[in-house]
Chain A
Amino acid sequence: MKCLLLANESAEVLFYWTDTEFEQRVQEQYGVSQEEGERLPAFEDSINTLFAPIIISCSTMVDRLGDNYTSFSTENNHIYVLHQFEECLYIAVNGDGDETEEDLKRKIFVMKKLTEIMFGMVTFSGALLRKELRPQDTEQRNRLWKKLRSLLETYSRLRENDQSFLVEAVERLIHPTLCEQCIEFLERRLVQQINSNMDRMGEEVLHAFILVHTKLLAFYSSRNASNLYSSDLLALIILVQDLYPSKINLDETSEELESSSVPEVFYTPEPSPPERESVRQRGDSPPVFQFVDPDVQMAEDSLQTLEAPTPDPSAPSRVFLESKECPMPHSMYCLPLWPGITLVLLTKIPNSHVATSVCYFLEAFVKLEKRLCEGHEGAAAMRGQPSVQEQRSRLEKLIKTWAGMDIQTSQLQNAWTDFKNKAFSRSGSGFTRDLLPSCRNMKTQLCGVYRQFFAAECMGSSQRLAPHLQERALSMVQEKLMDWKDFLLVKSKRNITMVWSLVATAQRYLQKGYATVTLRDGDYFYCYFLWFENETGYKLEVIDIPSSPDDGAPVGMLTCDYYRKLLRYYSKKHQNEVVKCYELFTVHLGVIPNEYILQHCSQLARKLWEPTRIPLL
């Protein structure tokens, strides 16, 4: 009995996922309370009604006590976990004993991560996220929710069956020669060729990698690409697995032939001619803007739904990846080489630099809002930021530029005029609390601009690498790996271990600052070690790891990049060194004397260092 839902502060459900058991239970409850002959309410309404008191109570607690619920458990061991991200409340429920409180918390954080990957900075604005997650058009909403549900289920499946999602680490297929060859191939042949082709529609391949199931065979990043964080890579693997699920124990050969030739079969022509090499295709495609009259939008939507949307395999997915400045929009192309083996290209899309500037000002307004809320006024409210006049003129210029770029900026302009009138004119309030609404409005409008530029549906559907380029890339890599294919598929299936409860346990202790844990549980002896090394493999001295609060992000990569933070924390003491962090989990039979177990662990720790010498990410 499982459920996950997102709601906003007005107790509106933005998204929900339930398993059939939960659904049945809810319907039974409503069946009982319903008068005879009365029709059952729509499931969504039931969910809404059932959870509304909890959601409302949450906001009351926050408002009046500055505290909030994080979990409930009942006598029959149902668990409810709650987490508030900005204006969005996540609730995860389990009533079948399959998941622990930590599991549910992790699920919530993963869901959050997935929305960030899909919607980027739009998640910063509650109002916009609501529109994004809960489109008014039912068809559209169903499509989106179906997608999100399927992602969540894919994640849960991976978490249960795949060790790399158990420990949240990218697992590599270790074959040094092949790995090196592939990287070279990706760099010299593939990426170079695409990036020098005229049909790339202004996109530029930044990262290219090959996945065998969930394992990474080769990864190449172009020189001007920013770092791809492991948390993002893991999330991308979920997206890929969702598109092309690894079917375990299925007869692969028959399907394989079909799907290797699919792209042409399923390819549907562009709605607009793709030959125009232009950065801006938006004008040609039906504009689906944020601030369109809902009725018009509905009409358009219903028109669109008449023609059944066929899956368009050459269309990229929009993903927003972490960078130092802000979530940067990218296009992701998943090209299935064979079932289980996928080539993934991440491209920089036109205008992505706009994201940086939007983000810059968004941050400025967030800071301002914070200072104003804290009661600072006048110059004090702007402390820590570059001069007001300078910022003001920069933003003016940007807005003008954006206005010339075929996107709707009238609302932004209105908001900006309003802000200026209040902040800078004599008649206005100046930098006082009264400025807060205008400040918030500016935030929303900036997010809106960001959305218009980058949200997948707002991008012209023709914005993509030309299909023939994609096909070319596919066949090149297929050719390259043809002889290795079977080997890789077999190899990727090896070294699959059982799921260990140890991992969750160790993470819980790690969260409380314990880096070494040994447990005798039933017939087994479990060990967990975490330590730091420098680049040469010298083991660095242990430090006290800060213990994080219970309501913080769970330890992991995918959820909040705990290890990156840990490394940053450790590096403060070792500023001149590259610090690496290692973990070792072992399970031994309990009958083995402890000293042998520990000796074995220590040998393993020494040996495991060796294969990591292969070229890394």
Chain B
Amino acid sequence: MENTSVSVSSILIVILEGKRFGLTANCTSYVFHHISKSSFFFLYDSSKVQEEVDLTRDGIYYFSPEDTPIDQQELLCGQLAGVCRCVSELSSSPVRLLHLRKSKYAVRMKDKFLWALSCVVDIPDVSVCDLLDQLIALFCFYNGPVRQSYQLYSKQELALRWARYLCHLQGGSTELHHIFSCLRTIDSTHIDPLLLLKAALILQACQRCPLVLAGCILYRGRVVSTQMPPALTVKVMVYETQTYSQDFQVTANGLSSLVGSPFSSTATTQVFLMPTELHMLRCPPVDRACRYKSRSFLSKKSSFVRSRLLSRTLSDTPTTDTDSSSLDPTHCPPPSYKTVPSSPRSSLSDELCFSPSPSRVNTPIHSNLMNQSEYFTPDSHVHSTSNGTNLCAVEEHLAGLNIKQDIDANSGSETKSNGLNSDQDIQSEEIKAPANGYEQSNCLDNHSDLDSQIKSEENKLDANNHVTNKNGNGETEEEAKTKSKQINRKLKEKNEPTNTPSPHETLEDTSLVPLVLYQHRVKGLVLALLVEPEFITDHSAREEVHHSSLASLNGLEAHLRNTSPGTPGPPGPYTFAHYDCIQNTLTTNVCGRSVGPQDQAFVKATKLVHSHFSRLDTLQEAIVRNASSAVYGTRTTAQETYFLQQGTPVRNSGSPDPQDSAFSLPRKARLRLLKHGVNLL
């Protein structure tokens, strides 16, 4: 039963779309297509600008467009940061939105950071806020916590990444896509549904390997099938587009691991997930907790355990009882995972007692991880392992650097782990100190008070310390001690401003959990899988996933390639947009950029009504009309649909008239949209 339902949902995510676009091949231009040419995005660190003598420019970590004159950058950052601070102090809450007469800014404030993304005023508030959140989430997904990233990498290098993410989110597609900030999916109208089913089956087959959490299949930058929640799919897609455009360039570069011919290659990179995301992958809809149980020894006993589940599908039921606490994401991860120090479940913290020493990183698993992820390559000399930066600029930049790609895995890891440590020494004294402090207090049971700053610092260290010691299981005494200490610390820090909960987890740097993104490309087709870190070292698992899916991927690719893109049919006598809030997909017949007056009227009304829907939960439907157009909007918890009947001569007085064609829109929408698979009944 469950199996069927999952397959169906996988198929449903593939929806039609009126227009297709080529991939945004190389995202080095930062023109915001629909947002505005004069759109700004910046990341500002006010902790760098405290004294009168401090220059505003020192606080600017990234500013887009980058060719903005520095004095204008300073003006905007300085003013907005100042005013936001003042307002947030007055209201004891971070600023979320800032309107100006000619533009508006979505704002995020966290710790001393301030992100701001601007757009023209008629984009709904909710859309621009979503966009900013997505952008920050993307950054954290690939780079981990922001503060830490900036300790490890240069502004210039991270600037390229911001630019890439910005470009990915804002590039291509229609204005409607931006309003709903939805996923780009393939046009299924011209595709044999069996292909979609096939894609879903490939994903399921990959999941036979217990190290595989979830996957998605993309074709030329569009989703064919996905098992991930929309927010994650979006993130995964960035890596896809980036490796796609890179395909025919010189790969190598030690960039993660990119293996194979240009036409069929695999790559892995480290990514960071929020606990809720991880929870969604690991726990529902299918309880796969059994895998976690087994994995704790799996990581040691390696692959033979896995074979037990050779025919595993999504509908597999757990074979062992699961701890009720496994529903909490922070409880779910196997003990080999280091999570938040403040996690209530102290079994996780026990590793911390042993972990922070650099000497610990000597198991093959860890060394491989080090290899895989630029994230742990601390100094600028090794950032050549940048996770797939395809931008020419980066490559040029890197060309002159000391690239250590020829180092063999083990020795490389040693070098790098040492590097990590020395890097900490150099870059941030304060990081090292609290780390030691933490170690002490946990391991030596030293009850001396911790500096309040220690906590936040060690949280930041989180990712650094993630390489954990597998021998730490079952230290119950330590567990108890740590737990009580944590509770104390929590109480103590209750009023710390840094601890105020933020509604968006992205900004909760502290809780990010590292995973690995595996990608198998067959020409334009990409299989992207989120896998447990052990996957990288587990050669037989990799082989199995690779070989089991290769043939099917080739077949799927050939079919998709040979499917004619399909000429967009004559535009119907109506315009519509159907947004699936659950899958985060949009079906519309509004064509790209050649937007006629009717389409413009449609988009304008859609923005207003969408904005209204987002503000008012109880609102179910709306008809708005002016002299030349009437638009009908309706929504349920799962979808929003907008409909405009074209060419209706609207010649009446505007006084209430039951014959007014505007009022027949709901009926027409119901009829017309059925053939697009939209059911409004």
- A interface residues with partner B (beta carbon < 8 Å): 29, 50-51, 53-54, 57, 60-61, 64-65, 67-76, 78, 80, 93, 95, 505, 509, 512-522, 527, 529-533, 539-545, 549-551, 582, 584, 594-595, 598-599, 601-602, 604-605
Cβ of B619 within 8 Å of any chain A Cβ, yes or no, is: yes
Residues of A within 8 A of B657 (CB): 598, 602
Docked-complex contact A75 and B503, CB < 8 angstroms? yes
How big is chain B's contact interface, by range?
35 or more
Cβ of B444 within 8 Å of any chain A Cβ, yes or no, is: no
A50-B90 contact given A515-B626, A599-B658, A605-B655, CB 8 Å threshold: yes
Residues of B within 8 A of A551 (CB): 101
Docked-complex contact B93 and A605, CB < 8 angstroms? no
Docked-complex contact B656 and A72, CB < 8 angstroms? no
Of the 9-residue stretches B79-87, B329-337, B416-424, which lies at the interface with chain A? B79-87
- Some 29 contacts from A to B, beta carbons below 8 A apart, are A53-B82, A54-B86, A57-B86, A67-B102, A70-B99, A71-B97, A72-B87, A72-B98, A72-B99, A73-B96, A74-B87, A74-B88, A76-B91, A78-B90, A78-B93, A80-B87, A509-B608, A509-B624, A516-B625, A519-B622, A521-B619, A531-B653, A531-B654, A539-B654, A542-B652, A544-B626, A544-B627, A550-B99, A601-B656
> A533–B650 Cα gap in the complex (Å)?
17
Q: Which of A57, A513, A514 is in CB contact (< 8 Å) with B83? A: A57
Chain A interface mostly helix, strand, loop or mixed?
mixed
Residues of A within 8 A of B608 (CB): 509, 512, 514
Residues of A within 8 A of B434 (CB): none
Docked-complex contact A78 and B91, CB < 8 angstroms? yes
Cβ of B426 within 8 Å of any chain A Cβ, yes or no, is: no
> A72–B103 Cα gap in the complex (Å)?
12
Residues of B within 8 A of A509 (CB): 608, 624
Docked-complex contact A73 and B95, CB < 8 angstroms? yes
Residues of A within 8 A of B103 (CB): 67
Residues of B within 8 A of A78 (CB): 87, 90-91, 93
Docked-complex contact A54 and B87, CB < 8 angstroms? yes
Residue of A nearest to B79 (CB): A57
Docked-complex contact B656 and A527, CB < 8 angstroms? yes
Residues of B within 8 A of A57 (CB): 79, 82-83, 86
- The distance from the CB of A74 to the nearest CB of chain B, in whole angstroms, is 4
> A154–B653 Cα gap in the complex (Å)?
38
Cβ of B307 within 8 Å of any chain A Cβ, yes or no, is: no
Residues of A within 8 A of B624 (CB): 509, 514, 516-517
Residues of B within 8 A of A61 (CB): 79, 100
Cβ of B533 within 8 Å of any chain A Cβ, yes or no, is: no
Cβ of B620 within 8 Å of any chain A Cβ, yes or no, is: yes
> A495–B616 Cα gap in the complex (Å)?
28
A542-B650 contact given A74-B87, A529-B656, A602-B658, CB 8 Å threshold: yes
With most chain A CB atoms within 10 A of its CB, the pick from B95, B618, B656, B658 is B656
- The distance from the CB of B46 to the nearest CB of chain A, in whole angstroms, is 13
- B residues 382-403 touching A (CB-CB < 8 Å): none
Docked-complex contact A530 and B83, CB < 8 angstroms? no
- The distance from the CB of B200 to the nearest CB of chain A, in whole angstroms, is 36
> A151–B121 Cα gap in the complex (Å)?
33
Excluding A516-B624, A545-B626, 17 further A-B contacts by CB distance (< 8 Å) are A50-B90, A53-B82, A53-B85, A68-B100, A73-B97, A75-B503, A516-B623, A517-B625, A518-B622, A519-B622, A520-B620, A531-B655, A539-B653, A544-B627, A584-B655, A598-B658, A602-B655
Q: Which of B75, B502, B616, B623 is in CB contact (< 8 Å) with A65? A: B75
- B residues 496-514 touching A (CB-CB < 8 Å): 502-503
A516-B86 contact given A509-B608, A602-B657, CB 8 Å threshold: no
Q: Which of B75, B626, B627, B663 is in CB contact (< 8 Å) with A518? A: B663
Docked-complex contact B654 and A515, CB < 8 angstroms? yes
> A50–B83 Cα gap in the complex (Å)?
11
- The distance from the CB of A69 to the nearest CB of chain B, in whole angstroms, is 6
- The distance from the CB of A606 to the nearest CB of chain B, in whole angstroms, is 9
Docked-complex contact B626 and A75, CB < 8 angstroms? no
Cβ of B628 within 8 Å of any chain A Cβ, yes or no, is: yes
Residues of A within 8 A of B79 (CB): 57, 60-61
A76-B87 contact given A529-B654, A531-B655, CB 8 Å threshold: no
A67-B83 contact given A514-B625, A516-B623, A541-B651, CB 8 Å threshold: no
> A331–B61 Cα gap in the complex (Å)?
61
Docked-complex contact A76 and B86, CB < 8 angstroms? no
Cβ of B94 within 8 Å of any chain A Cβ, yes or no, is: yes
